[in-house]
Amino acid sequence: MSKKPRKKLVKRIKIDVDKCNGCRACEVICSSFHAVPRYSSANPARSRIRVIRDPLADIYVPVYAGEYAAAQCAGRNEYTIDGKRYEECSFCRASCPSRPLFKEADSGLPLKCDMCESDPTLEQPKCVEWCLAQALVYEEREEEVVGEEEAAPDEVELGLEALAAKHGWQTLLDTVTRLTKRG
């Protein structure tokens, strides 16, 4: 395997909670963009960004949906910043059993921010475009990475699923175990 440094495009959304005015436009447009057909409905409950708000405590934290977690954390944290107490889980991106965030309202399936990946590629993610307050700012930069080429997880998943469909999960697992031991 090659260990040569390569360029990798890193996409980043910078979140400035001080600039958030609590409007939820990001939630509206994300849900609308991901509706099928596109823009055919709006529903913040399906959004992949949620603004955790507690207006009377002046708390506004836009949080992006991250990985699915099958179980909730063993311990939780509570932050106090500038005298404001942020409830446990305020900054967490997980779609996890402890809270209703980042799950499809009807099916309960987890939601995850995909940075609005689409064809053709958007100039910037939708939530960023609609946040005129600039609480969300999009940035792309190239980073040098050393190490193995990461396959896009979706492709691997797709491939595995296809194999499993053909041979069954057990056969697949057995084979993977055998091959990795050999390797």
| Binding positions for ligand SF4, rule: CB under 6 A | 20-26, 30, 33, 48-49, 51, 62, 64, 113-116, 125-127, 130-131, 133, 135-136
Which one, 39 or 79, has the nearer CB to another protein?
A: 39
- Contact partner at residue 183 from ligand SF4, another protein, none, CB < 5 to 8 Å by partner kind: none
- Contact partner at residue 51 from ligand SF4, another protein, none, CB < 5 to 8 Å by partner kind: ligand SF4
HSE-CB for 15 with a 13 A CA cutoff: 15
In whole angstroms, the minimum distance from the beta carbon of 132 to another protein comes to 4
In whole angstroms, the minimum distance from the beta carbon of 79 to another protein comes to 17
Interatomic CA distance for residues 61 and 59, integer angstroms: 6
Tokens for 149, please give them: 């080429």
Binding site for another protein (CB under 8 A): 21-25, 28-29, 32, 35, 37-46, 54-56, 58, 60, 105, 129-133
- Contact partner at residue 122 from another protein, ligand SF4, none, CB < 5 to 8 Å by partner kind: none
- Contact partner at residue 127 from another protein, ligand SF4, none, CB < 5 to 8 Å by partner kind: ligand SF4
Q: How many CB atoms lie within 10 A of CB 137?
A: 14
Tokens for 141, please give them: 């930069």
Helix (H, G, I), strand (E, B) or coil at 77: coil
Return the amino acid letter for 91. Answer: F
In whole angstroms, the minimum distance from the beta carbon of 111 to ligand SF4 comes to 9
CB 62 within 8 A of CB 36: no
Closest to 102 measured CA to CA, from 93, 115, 111? 111
Whether omega before 37 lies within 30 degrees of 0, making that bond cis, reads: yes
- Contact partner at residue 182 from another protein, ligand SF4, none, CB < 5 to 8 Å by partner kind: none
Which one, 48 or 103, has the nearer CB to ligand SF4?
A: 48
Phi, psi of 40 (to 5 degrees): -80, -10
